[in-house]
Every structure is written in C-alpha cells, then in structure tokens.
C-alpha cells in the first residue's frame, strides 16, 4: 500500500513539475538577435564589449517581463558567433544566423568582415549593424547594413576643425596599424585634414598590431614635428603603448583617434602620459548619461565584473532593433517592413538625459538613412577618466 502511495505521489509530482516547467517555458516567445563579431584575438575587446552590452540589455529587459512587439511578448535571446576577425568566419557566422531564422544581427566589427557578409545578409533577408566604415555598405543599392556608430570620416573632420580653432593645430601626422580598417581610416583622415587646410607632415608610417616596442615605429613620425598625432583606427590594446612611446620620445603635441577607448586601459597602460588624449566616446559621460545608462553600467559590471567604456557606443544597436520592431511589428520577420519604418522612425533615447531621440540618420554621408543616430561625443582623457570635449550630431 505504502509503495503504491509512494509511486502515485512521485508520478504526480513529476507530472506537476513537467507541467509547471512547460508553463514557465511557454510564458514568453523567444526573439533571437544575432551577434557576429570578433571576441578572440587582439581585437577581442571590440566584439566582447558588443556581445556583453547586448547580453546585459537583453537580461535586463527579460527581467522586466520581456519586450512586447505587437500582441506578443518576447524574451530576447542573444545568439553570438566569434568571427575571429576573419571574413570567412564572418560569412559562416552570418550563414548560421540565416539557418537559425534570425533576421537582425549586430556586427561584424571590421571592414572586411562587414563587406564579406553583405551577400549572405541580402540573400537571406537579414538586417545587420556593422561597426565598419566603408560607404558602399550603406549607400544604394546596398540597403541591409546600418552603421552602428559614428564613422571616422564624420568624427575626424569635426575633431580636426575643433583643434584647429581651439588649439592652433597646423601640422598633422598619421600613424596606423597595417590592417584594412586602420589604413582606410588613415586615408580618410588624411583626405579630411588636407581638405581643412592642414599640412600633413607624415602619413606613411604603419605598424604591426603585435608590436612590442613602438619607439622605432614612432621615431620618424615624431621627427616630422606635428602639432597633432592621429592614431588612425587604433585598437584599445595599442593606444596606451603608442601614447606612452610618443611622450617618452619627447612629443608634447596633441594626440587623437576616431575610435572608442577605455579609460581604465589608458590609465593602466600609459598613466598620466595619456592626459589630453582625444578619442570618440558614447553617452555615459556624467553630463550626458541618464539614470537608465547608469543602471546599464551597473548591471554590466555586476554581470561581467568590469565595465568597458566602449560599450557606451555598443549599447545602442540592440535598442534600435527592438524599438523599430515595436514601431512596426510586421518587421519581426520581414526586413522590408523594417526598412520602410526606418525613414520615419523615432523613439525616446533611454540612455541620454533630456529629450534625445533614437532616429536613423546618414542621408548626408550615404544618401539614405542607414546609420543609427548616436551622439558624436569627443572626449579628452584626464587623470583616469574621460571628460567631454564637445558633442555634435551626425545627419
């Protein structure tokens, strides 16, 4: 008798547990958003900050009950793929996203990867948000790529002009890693500097990303006596070393870059020598960050142990995808509907104070709205943290 009761009770418990767990699983549908980018190797910081920003925001939204798009509430699931900064792997990653039925992907992080995935994205109805600058990705007839940040040809001229007007810069030198992104950013920077009337005193010096001593690299650049040294497309790993070597060689002029950097990395790698270093940031400087941005930073830190300042820019792509889908639920599996919505889309920007809006821009640079509107925040590093130098908007 006892045995029969035990079996019946156990069977009932299992049935209840299965029902309960099924009910829990059935609570919200899943909305899969992909990430294809570099999360290993020397540039891992770029992709990892992307992925972690997405995961932090997704966890936060899911904790709040999910995202309601049309009549359905979804839990956001991030599907990451490490392309190892290799275009072939990026293609494989985008194909995997297509096989998983994913229509919205953040990444890739670099030019050649973003260019390589274009055919796969277009053939499989995927909108993707690269952090790469080639204009042909965003200019008609291309229409599936949306630039996830401010491009160097948008931020560079603004920085040079500011420094010409406020710091009397007349001579500029460029140094870049011998890779496609930094080289194309250098070429764009040289063109912009010349257009503004600056004298380019050095633009041929390049370096390997695995360089361990930048003294011989920078020696000829410093000898050209520039007022401004531009570290084109410099990775957060190389920036502190380049700054330190330049200062140790006696360079006293200005140093800038058009890429996002991390204050802790600069402080650890270059210390006070990095004071005055100018870079492009996001929206978390004290003057601009909203309470939501501060909570995002806290949640990111709790999840991963340490915040990455590059995420100030990387926080936006997922928000744009979700808010645009909310604006037009038909876009959930129809990217043409998404594209149609982009022209008129507008939503409050939760990460900035005031009445800042999420909108798509890029008409001036690309002839169509294929860029997320994030503030062009130009920062100056000072004593371990970034201070806002000036803020501008990209059209």
Partner 1 sequence: MEQILANGLYLGAQYALIALGLTLIFSLMNVLNFAHGQMYVFGGFVTYTVVAQFGLPFIVGLVASAAVLAVLGGLIEKFLFRPVIRRSKREESTMLLAAGIAFFLDAVILLLFGEKQRGVPKIVNGVFNWDMRIIMPYDRILIGILAITLIVSFILFMQYSRTGRAMRALAQDRMAAQLMGVDVDRYSMIGFALGAMLAGLVGGLLVTITGINLGMGGPTSVKAFLMIMIGGAGVISGAIAGGFILGMMESVGLTLLAAYGDITYLVIFATLMVFLAIRPQGLMGKPWG
Q: Which residues bind partner 1 (CB under 8 A)?
A: 39-45, 48-49, 178, 204-210, 212-213, 215-217, 219-220, 236-237, 240-241, 248-250, 262, 264-265, 268-271, 304-306, 308
| Nearest Cα to Cα of residue 317 among 155, 129, 133, 94 | 129
3-state helix, strand, coil in the chain (%, to 5): 45, 20, 35
Nearer to partner 1, 196 or 249 (CB): 249
User: How far apart are alpha carbons 171 and 164 in whole angstroms?
Assistant: 10
Shortest Å, Cβ 86 to partner 1: 13
Which two tokens mark 61? 């939204």
Q: Which is nearer to partner 1, 312 or 328 (CB)?
A: 312
Question: Alpha-carbon distance 314 to 74, whole Å?
Answer: 22
Do 71 and 118 touch, CB atoms closer than 8 A? no
Min dist. Cβ of residue 150 to partner 1 (A): 22
Q: Least Å distance between CB 202 and partner 1?
A: 9
Q: Report in angstroms how near the CB of residue 255 gets to partner 1 at its nearest.
A: 17
Q: Which is nearer to partner 1, 206 or 359 (CB)?
A: 206
**Least Å distance between CB 221 and partner 1?**
8
What is the maximum span of the chain, computed from C-alpha positions, in angstroms? 96
Of 143 and 206, nearer to partner 1 (C-beta) is 206
State which residue, 122 or 248, has the beta carbon closest to partner 1. 248
CB of 105 to partner 1, least distance (A): 21
- In Å, how far are 57, 265, 285, 293, 389 from 355, measured between CA atoms? 21, 32, 17, 14, 21
Q: Is 28 exposed, middle or buried (0-12, 13-18, 19+ CB in 10 A)?
A: middle
Rank residues 240 and 375 by Cβ distance to partner 1 and give the closer one: 240
């Amino acid at each position: 008798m006892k045995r029969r009761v035990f079996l019946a009770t156990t069977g009932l418990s299992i049935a209840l547990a299965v029902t309960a767990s099924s009910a829990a699983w059935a609570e919200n549908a899943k909305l899969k958003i992909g990430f294809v980018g570099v999360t290993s190797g020397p540039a891992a910081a770029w992709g990892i900050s992307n992925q972690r920003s997405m995961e932090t925001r997704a966890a936060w939204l899911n904790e709040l009950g999910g995202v309601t798009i049309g009549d359905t509430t979804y839990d956001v699931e991030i599907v990451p793929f490490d392309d190892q900064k290799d275009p072939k792997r990026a293609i494989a990653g985008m194909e995997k996203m297509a096989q998983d039925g994913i229509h919205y992907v953040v990444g890739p992080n670099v030019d050649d990867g973003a260019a390589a995935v274009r055919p796969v994205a277009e053939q499989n109805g995927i909108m993707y948000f690269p952090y790469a600058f080639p204009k042909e990705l965003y200019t008609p007839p291309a229409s599936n790529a949306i630039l996830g940040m401010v491009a160097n040809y948008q931020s560079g001229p603004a920085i040079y002009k500011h420094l010409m007007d406020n710091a009397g810069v007349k001579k500029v030198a460029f140094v870049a890693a011998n890779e496609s992104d930094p080289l194309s950013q250098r070429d764009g920077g040289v063109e912009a500097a010349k257009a503004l009337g600056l004298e380019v005193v050095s633009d041929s010096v390049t370096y390997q990303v695995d360089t361990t001593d930048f003294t011989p690299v920078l020696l000829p650049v410093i000898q050209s006596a520039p007022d401004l040294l531009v570290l084109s497309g410099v990775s957060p790993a190389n920036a502190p070393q380049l700054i330190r070597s330049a200062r140790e060689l006696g360079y006293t002029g200005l140093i800038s870059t058009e890429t996002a950097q991390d204050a802790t990395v600069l402080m650890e790698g270059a210390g006070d020598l990095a004071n005055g270093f100018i870079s492009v940031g996001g929206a978390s400087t004290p003057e601009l960050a909203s309470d939501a941005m501060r909570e995002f930073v806290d949640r990111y830190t709790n999840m991963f142990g340490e915040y990455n300042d590059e995420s100030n820019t990387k926080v936006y792509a997922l928000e744009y995808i979700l808010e645009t889908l909310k604006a037009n639920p038909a876009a959930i599996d129809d990217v043409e509907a998404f594209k149609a919505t982009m022209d008129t889309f507008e939503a409050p920007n939760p990460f900035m104070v005031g009445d800042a809006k999420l909108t798509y821009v890029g008409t001036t640079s690309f002839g169509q709205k294929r860029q997320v509107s994030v503030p062009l925040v130009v920062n100056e590093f000072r004593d371990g943290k970034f201070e806002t130098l000036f803020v501008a908007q990209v059209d």
